[in-house]
Structure 1
Amino acid sequence: MAGDSGMAGKVVLLLWAQTLGLAGAQTTQILLEPPWRPPVLWDQVTLTCQGSGTAGATTWYKDGQPLGQEGRDSITVTKKGTYECDRPGTGRSPPMRVLDDNLVLQVPAQVLLEGDTVTLRCRAWQNNTVTSVSFYRKETKLEGSRDGTELSLHPLQLSHSGSYSCEGRVSNVVSWWSVSELVTMTVCRFPPSGVSLSAQPPGGQVALGDSLVLSCEVATGTCSLSFSWHREGSGALLGTGPRLELQHVGDNDSGQYRCRVSDGDSVAESDPLKVTVLVPVANATITPGPLAHQVRPGDNVTLHCSVQVGSAPVTFTWLHNGQEVARGPLLELRDIDVGHSGTYQCVATNQLGQDGHRVFRALSPELELDVTPGSPWVTVAAGVGGALLFLLLLVGVIVAWHWWHRLDARKHQQRAPPEPLAPSLEDPQATYMELQWQPWEPRDIYDNLHQKL
């Protein structure tokens, strides 16, 4: 029952791999038919090259030399030796030895999972009879081995991994004692949840132009596996090793990355890791906003600083005539006056890379508040005009005061009584003495005055 559950798990994982379309997403491998390893020449073994790339573009090698059967995905072996195949995109496969020995120990050509049942078989050349068979793990004879050609191990445990051999008496016309080559058997623990990703720099955040290394890690006790790397939204195979290194990353390298691990029959997939390529700030600009309209003394003015590109967080610093005056994307000028004249710039900054050790800055073009007459800005001319107006009013008041003072003096002279004229020797005049010594009538005064005049 334990073996059945293990095989069921393998079937489920294999169906999962086929559903995801991952048959071509592995490193190049050689599949065997019949599915036993090492393969033997008298079984008329068929080798099939599996990997990504264009179908029919396989190159075969025997003992390191091209076999001369380019373009064929499958070949039938007629000679013993070491075979390899090469597929564009995934490279050359691990070597596969085809034996023609007197005695061979074979194990199933499949991934052996913990909990499975596995059968080892000891075979003689050309299927001759073999007797008195014993099985060994390294140099230790296995307890429970029976006088036969097969050995069953159930349930498989990680401790069953190791090198195995068999020995026995091969009988044909004559009998001879023979010992097989060692065969390595690896028991795998392969839970789908055992695959995880890590990144350097940590967190998957990397500055534009830097390098990023992703590592695919599997649970302890797994066997030798093949790896493939994928990014969501891209059908391209990014790599086939446990590490994926991205050199000089660009902003199009951002996305969700996954690692898929295969044991040849089954596939496990990691959770996605989000990679973010941090972009330095660039093209800082100042938006005048209300400054495009008439601005009067006492008005409020708001400047806005922004960048066309740049990964958050971005900080903004405002300079007035080269001196820092404020921070933040907005600069508000309240009750604008002459002191606000001059040049304004904003500096956009972001820190990228591991621990923010790389600082990028973008300086906007200068924005100048002109101080010329007629300008819609508040200008020095406005202040000078106000001073002149005050002086003119003051002069007017002084002139008016002087004019009023002279007019008032003139009116005062007109209202005062005339002063008596000084007496003259030539002018006739009536005197009191003249009137005193002569008898007079009232009319005499008139006549006397008339005569003198």
Structure 2
Amino acid sequence: MPKSVISLHPPWTTVFQGDRVNLICNGFQFYAPENTTWFYKDGWENTQTEHPGNTLVVCKSGEYKCQVQGSLPSDPVSLRFVTGPIILQAPHLVFEGDTLILRCQRRGKDKLISAKYKQNGETVFDSKDSNQGLDLFIPQASLSNSGSYECWGYEDKNTFFKSDTKIIKIQELFPDPKMKATDPHPTEGNPVNLSCETQLPPARLDTPLHFIFFRDDKAILSDWSNSSEIQIPTIWRENSGKYTCGAETVTHSVYKHSLPLEIHVQRIPVSQVSIEILPPDGQAVEGEKLVLVCSVAEGTGETTFSWHRENTKQHVGQKTQRSQRAELEIPNIRESHTGRYYCTADNSYGPIQSGVVNITVRGIPGKKSGLIALGTCGGFLMLLMAVTLLFYHRCWRKPVHPKEEDLLYSEIQIIQLGDKEKANTSSAPPEDNCASIIYSEVKTKLPDKSAEKVGSKEENAMKGGKNVLPM
């Protein structure tokens, strides 16, 4: 439950005898209280009274407290009504960052021409040397401004009065913040909440503060914000370090920094590494896609997955990612990929190996064509010539004209010249340098009488290639 707070008007705690001071009791409701309880203590006198509203006018020295409904009793306020010729007036409460005004006040209508102020016996301000007036004015008070003060008031060059000594204590607006985390030893991949905790005094609960967060005094985790908490949605081991925070008033008058909080992010080593293949039976067809999947049952952070071929120790692929599963795709598998495979996973604790799987790649039946090889230069042209030659041969041999069911098969072989053959044909025209030698066989089953009727014209027509007809 919050405390009630007393404010003074005028703000001084030391006044002349016969003056009046208004004490105002503030709670934390949005409306003025119907009644306020006031407590007064001075020597043997100790009273408690209830007054309507929240204002009390007083003219006696002593200690005052108040309490409104829904709040705890306030801290005490000490008032002094004095009869001396001069007094040093100071506010009831002065916090860090506040403007501190000290006033050297003369009784009655007599005026001072200058004033001098001493702190702990040392002069800190003399109005004769300044044009700022008679008051001591400190724009932003700090804890170092606390101390024992007195003033010297001058009516003329030779006449002065010395005030009583007054102890002034600058109040701390808020203590150094404390850096806290929901878990200072979190596990990788989990969220972590950070908070920058401090506390304003009851009299200044309405003072707005801004907060900022750092790691290792360099990495800013957030810009200035009115929120004293932030969340790291997913923390990793590289996020380990010393975390600090800062709190500051929006007017930049007070800034305070926390001590560092060491956050060590835990990493879980990989375990139970396994490999699987798609298709799952390990039987693949040449030309199809094959996928090798490497996965772990446990493990956090960046994991390096590697795939290997067992019999050759060949390294066939590697991926590094924040995941417990990775895939290696072979888009066009060949028979040469047949073998035994395994994978490893490593997240900085050393590689862990999976079991071994067998992969068998089958060729496609009938995939090999009668076309054995084409020349790299003009291959398409040579194929066209071969087909034309075969067509010409069949059309020219009209007397033979075998029946369709008698044609067993035809075979065209296009064989690329090797390096030696190319060397022997260096005298050929340039366009023939990379031509292929074409062999054509048309094999048919003909009646015996048809073979006897083959004329010389047909033989002369086929002299461009080798044509063997079985008898």
TM class by shorter-chain length? 0.3 to 0.5
Higher RCO structure (Cα 8 Å, ≥6 apart): 1
- Tell me the TM-score normalized by structure 1: 0.36
The TM-score normalised by the length of structure 2 is 0.35
Structure (1 or 2) with the greater helix fraction: 1
Q: Which has the larger radius of gyration?
A: 1
